[in-house]
Amino acid sequence: MNNNPFFNALLATGYISILVTLIFNSPKFITDNELGMMAPILFLSTFVLSTAMMGYFFVYQPVQLLIEGKKEEATKLFLTTVFAFACITGAMVLAWFLLSSALS
């Protein structure tokens, strides 16, 4: 992990994209009848893993900086990472709207 908020935001976006791609394509391989009790276990496990990953991408470096006594730098890194992630998400939504209207 580094102090580049844009890199951290891109990592978070990449993780989410890979996870959603796997989940979206999983019905082709597994039916609900086959999952049974595994469905809630898989859901909660994925939730916990995602929470840990997002905590690492967004919080780990700022907390390290806070421990070192660099409060302003920690705040700036956290907020810049969140802002960069919001911009990436906004750009993806905008691209989706533009592409969907162009293809219709």
Per-residue pLDDT tens for 48-84?
Answer: 999 999 999 999 999 999 999 999 999 999 999 999 9
Rounded CA separation 38/55 (Å):
25
Q: Residue 74 corresponds to which amino acid?
A: A
pTM of the model: 0.76
CA angle 66, 69, 70 (to 5 degrees): 70
Position 103 scores a pLDDT of 81
The structure tokens 């844009």 sit at 6
- What are 22's two structure tokens? 């796997």
